[in-house]
């Protein structure tokens, strides 16, 4: 139930960012569940303090938004924070449970104050689900996507900004060279070539 609760919170936060009203019917339709099941999840969220009621309308509370942020950064770290394979598993095992992601991102992954603030801002403002994001390197030729966030320090963020690769920007993959070669993308009508290392740190979601 907890995973579904987080998914519902992500959905409700997206509704509010779009200026839409939170309603049981919308929750039921989004997750293909009954109104009774939707009501049960909403009541649980209210009991946990993740949803508050103001003048008869439901809103995601600050506590709820914090839970969404924790879920998103935990997902990103678990899936993309370390290399895949045996070495990645060993690193995650050695790290154990992370009590403070803010410090961990800075000490273990090279984030600094500015890049970390931007990272949190970008994943907090994401409309939809964090599971919908993926590395730019996974896109195929001809696919379009929207940049959501980047994983890296101040240097990387500055470099991407200078190239116009900022969150909210739409890109088109023109060519993906074989054998881990560069990826050619189009941004606002301009062609750019990105090395696989840089491209792997840029995360996008598909254009719907």
Query: Are 189 and 128 within 8 A, CB to CB?
Result: no
- Work out the burial of residue 80: count CB atoms within 10 Å of its CB; fewer than 13 is exposed, 13-18 middle, 19 or more buried: middle
DSSP β-ladder status, 202-206 and 144-150: antiparallel
Residue 67 has pLDDT above 60, yes or no: yes
Q: pLDDT tens digits, residue range 106-133?
A: 888 888 888 999 999 999 999 999 999 9
CB 113 within 8 A of CB 55: no
Domains in the chain, please, with CATH?
Answer: 2-60 (1.10.10.10), 132-206 (2.30.30.90)
pTM here is 0.87
- Mean pLDDT value across residues 13-25: 96
pLDDT digits (tens, 9 = 90+) for 136-183: 999 999 999 999 999 988 899 999 999 999 999 999 999 988 777 899
pLDDT of 87 higher than 80: no
**Band (96; pLDDT cuts 50, 70, 90):** low
CA distances from 125 to 13, 15, 108 (A): 9, 12, 24
What is the structure's pLDDT at 69? Answer: 95
Q: Helix count (H) and strand count (E) of the chain?
A: 9, 8
pLDDT tier for residue 1 given thresholds of 50, 70 and 90: very low
């Amino acid at each position: 139930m907890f995973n579904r609760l987080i998914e519902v919170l992500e959905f409700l936060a997206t509704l509010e960012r779009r200026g839409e009203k939170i309603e049981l019917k919308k929750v039921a339709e989004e997750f293909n569940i009954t109104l009774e099941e939707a009501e049960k999840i909403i009541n649980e969220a209210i009991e946990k303090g993740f949803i508050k009621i103001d003048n008869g309308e439901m809103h995601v509370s600050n506590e709820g938004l914090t839970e969404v942020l924790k879920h998103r950064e935990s997902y990103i770290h678990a899936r993309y924070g370390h290399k895949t394979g045996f070495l990645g598993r060993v690193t995650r095992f050695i790290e154990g449970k992370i009590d403070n992601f803010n410090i961990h991102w800075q000490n273990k992954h090279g984030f600094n104050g500015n890049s970390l603030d931007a990272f949190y801002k970008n994943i907090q403002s994401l409309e939809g689900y964090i599971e919908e994001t993926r590395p730019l390197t996974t896109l195929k030729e001809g696919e379009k996507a929207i940049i959501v966030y980047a994983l890296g320090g101040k240097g990387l963020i500055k470099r991407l900004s200078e190239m116009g690769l900022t969150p909210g920007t739409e890109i088109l993959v023109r060519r993906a060279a074989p054998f881990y070669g560069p990826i050619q993308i189009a941004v606002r009508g301009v062609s750019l070539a990105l090395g696989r290392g840089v491209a792997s740190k840029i995360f996008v979601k598909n254009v719907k």
